Amino acid sequence: MATRAGLRCSQTALRLARTPLQSHAIRSRAFSSSKAAEAAKTLLYIEHKEGKLNPGVYNAITAAQKLGGEITGLVAGAEADSLDAVAQAAAKYPLSKIVVMSADTLSHSLAEPLAPLIVALVQKEGYTHVTTAHTAQGKNIFPRVAALLDVAQISDVMQVESEDTFVRPIYAGNAIATVKSSDKIKVFTIRTSSFDPAKESGEGASIEKGESGQVGKAIAEWVSESLTKSERPDLGSAARVVSGGRGVKNKENFDSVIIPLADALGAAVGASRAAVDSGYADNSLQVGQTGKVVAPELYVAVGISGAIQHLAGIRDAKCITAINKDPEAPIFEVADFGLVADLFNAAPELTKAVGKK
């Protein structure tokens, strides 16, 4: 490219930019210190769809292992959800056992009947920890679980330090808080990008049927779901992501510049909040604090200035590459590779170069 002499940030600057204030972790004064409790007994809600585990389940298992003790996986749904296949798949991983709950009211994983079910299992079996991946489903179910148990929920956990101490982002990811919970039962969701996926154990967890009487009442009704199908990788779990920002100027440019580059790289398509608010891309493609948190091997930011809310969603990306004509754009402070150039020239050239290989 004619603008090849781009900008590259030092690794020191990169580390500082990705983990602001981490050296000054905030410890919540609301929690009192306590002596080490008995061994953890964890209930892990296993999210699934169409007979397959949600990819975030594997990362959540790794996080649960940090607690020590036994881990029970909960597979819940209707018979039509291929629960046996889901349970068999989950049993290959390091779990003590799998509990399968089947009821018509559990179809579509509605939070209203699921939350009481989880609470009933916790109270009956004496679980000390309840966790799941920090997905849309997890964020819907677990606040209800915490409320029913009358405990505080800890969201988006990035690190498990001990049975009662966790690390999580606050202030749009601009600071990292270390919190210690004095609640008897810890309810928390896992930021999957912060943990490696669990590997198959080869031992095989036992599978047992749960009691249907523990299922909550059907106080909500499933109406419909509208999904956009695409051959591109899923944004939340893609190894490569190409995102466009306000700099692409309009939807036509987004479609003609960002999407071809993503397709050439075999990447998922993302967008900044500014691009979504301007109508350049669907809100399902939004990356950032109020969108999706991604952790790809490669993240390409095109025409994105780098607002704090956006950076909070890409902090776990392994390699960040930015293309922007403004050399003072904040995105360059966190980028591993930066190219100061007109995106309308640079992005198409990059697309052609990738296509030739």
Does 185 carry a binding-site annotation?
no
Consult the annotation and say whether 303 binds a ligand: yes
289 labelled binding-site residue: yes
What's the rounded Cα separation, in Å, for the pair 80 and 116? 21
345 is in an annotated binding site: no
Q: Is 62 annotated as a binding residue?
A: no
Q: Is 305 annotated among the ligand-binding residues?
A: yes
Residue 19 marked ligand-binding: no
According to the annotation, is 306 in a ligand binding site?
yes
Q: How far apart are CA 243 and CA 230, in angstroms?
A: 16
Residue 286 annotated as binding site: yes
32: annotated binding-site residue? no
* 46 marked as binding residue: no
Asked whether residue 190 is marked as a ligand-binding residue, the answer is no
308 is in an annotated binding site: yes
The three-state DSSP-derived secondary structure of the chain is CCCCCCECCCHHHHHHHHCCCHHHCEECCCCCCCCCCCCCEEEEECCEECCEECCHHHHHHHHHHCCCCEEEEEEEECHHHCHHHHHHHHCCCCCCEEEEEECHHHHHHCHHHHHHHHHHHHHHHCCCEEEEECCHHHHHHHHHHHHHHCCCEEEEECEECCCCEEEEEECCCCEEEEEECCCCCEEEEECHHHCCCCCCCCCCCEEEECCHHHCCCCCCCCCCCCCCCCCCCCCCCCCEEEEECHHHCCHHHHHHHHHHHHHHHCCEEEECHHHHHCCCCCHHHEECCCCECCCCCEEEEECCCCCHHHHCCCCCCCCEEEEECCCCCHHHHCCCEEEECCHHHHHHHHHHHHHCC
Residue 291, annotated ligand binder? Answer: no
Q: Residue 267 annotated as binding? A: no
Annotated binding site for FAD: 246, 272-273, 286-290, 303-310, 324
Annotated binding site: 246, 272-273, 286-290, 303-310, 324
